[in-house]
């Protein structure tokens, strides 16, 4: 049986495992260690605790899967994270590039009562300020394409900056100052596969991104 409230550390693990499962990525300790920036032995110890407490199961091949209780707890922490991001952006007017980092510090102490008030106050958003779908709203992003699949000349609307990019404050600041934001238009000017870069034009001017970043930015093509 899962304990009733996971600790902040366990909540961080649950959120990342949920996101990897959602994306169809294989969930293994090495990937968690990389994303959480903690050592492999620490991840192993925490995962054992999570199995004991009923949040996850692990196959003999060390593949990790959320239990139904784990899924519910993960959805709750992601919802609270995204609602907190909106609260910081809309009510406190914090910069778009800063709300993820700040929300991460607050999300673990949001009660279900405050969560319900936020849903009401913020008109029940389907995405976070970075365009990532709320748990249960994944279908809104199903037609969006990764930016690295565009070709020169494509006119696009930026829709979503993947959760894992939100973790990099320097990148987020760069994206914000260069208008790579959900709802903003741009046109692809050049893709250089040998250089691994994509260059686009928008209201901010000319912006060049690495293809490894571009594959985690989702867009919609304009006619
Ligand atoms: Zn975030
Ligand atoms: Zn976000």
Quote the DSSP letter at residue 146.
E
CA-closest candidate to residue 210, choices 197, 192, 194: 197
Is pLDDT at 188 greater than 90 in this prediction?
A: yes
Query: Does 1.10.10.10 match the CATH number of domain 1-140?
Result: yes
Q: Give the class (CATH, top level) of 145-221.
A: mainly beta
Q: How far is the CA of 168 from the centre of ligand 2 (A)?
A: 12
Q: How far is the CA of 198 from the centre of ligand 1 (A)?
A: 25
Q: Residue range 25-51: average pLDDT? A: 96
Q: pLDDT, tens digit, for every residue of 137-165?
A: 999 999 999 999 999 999 999 999 999 99
Q: Which ligand is nearest to the CA of 160?
A: 2
pTM of the complete model:
0.93
Q: How far is the CA of 75 from the centre of ligand 2 (A)?
A: 14
Strand order in the sheet with 145-146: 145-146, 217-221, 155-161, 185-192, 197-202, 205-210
Q: How far is the CA of 120 from the centre of ligand 2 (A)?
A: 19
Handedness of CA 138, 219, 185, 194 (dihedral sign): positive
Q: Which ligand is nearest to the CA of 125?
A: 2
Is pLDDT at 2 greater than 80 in this prediction?
A: no
pLDDT at site 90: 95
Torsion of CA 217, 91, 170, 196, to 10 degrees: 10
Return all residues near 8 (Cβ < 8 A) that are at least 6 apart. 108
Q: Which ligand is nearest to the CA of 86?
A: 2
Q: Give domain limits for the chain.
A: 1-140, 145-221
Q: pLDDT, tens digit, for every residue of 194-217?
A: 999 999 999 999 999 999 999 999
Q: How far is the CA of 68 from the centre of ligand 2 (A)?
A: 24
Q: pLDDT, tens digit, for every residue of 68-110?
A: 999 999 999 999 999 999 999 999 999 999 999 999 999 999 9
H helices, E strands: number in the chain? 9, 8
Residue pointed to by tokens 């969006």: 144
pLDDT at site 1: 47
């Amino acid at each position: 049986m899962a304990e009733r409230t996971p600790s902040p550390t366990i909540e961080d693990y649950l959120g990342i495992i949920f996101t990897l499962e959602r994306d169809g990525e294989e969930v293994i300790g090495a990937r968690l260690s990389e994303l959480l920036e903690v050592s492999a032995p620490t991840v192993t110890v925490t995962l054992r605790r999570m199995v004991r407490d009923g949040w996850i199961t692990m196959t003999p091949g060390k593949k990790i899967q959320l239990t139904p209780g784990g899924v519910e707890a993960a959805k709750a922490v992601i919802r609270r994270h995204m609602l907190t991001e909106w609260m910081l952006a809309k009510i406190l007017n914090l910069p778009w590039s800063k709300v993820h980092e700040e929300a991460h510090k607050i999300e673990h102490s949001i009660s279900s009562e405050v969560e319900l008030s936020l849903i009401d106050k913020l008109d029940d958003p389907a995405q976070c300020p970075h365009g990532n779908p709320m748990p249960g709203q994944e279908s809104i992003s199903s037609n969006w394409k990764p930016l690295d699949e565009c070709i020169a000349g494509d006119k696009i609307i930026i829709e979503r900056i993947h959760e894992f990019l939100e973790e990099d404050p320097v990148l987020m600041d760069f994206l914000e100052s260069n208008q790579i934001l959900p709802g903003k238009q741009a046109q692809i000017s050049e893709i250089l596969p040998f250089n691994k870069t994509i260059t686009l034009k928008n209201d901010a001017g000319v912006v060049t991104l690495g293809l490894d970043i571009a594959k985690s930015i989702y867009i919609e093509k304009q006619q």
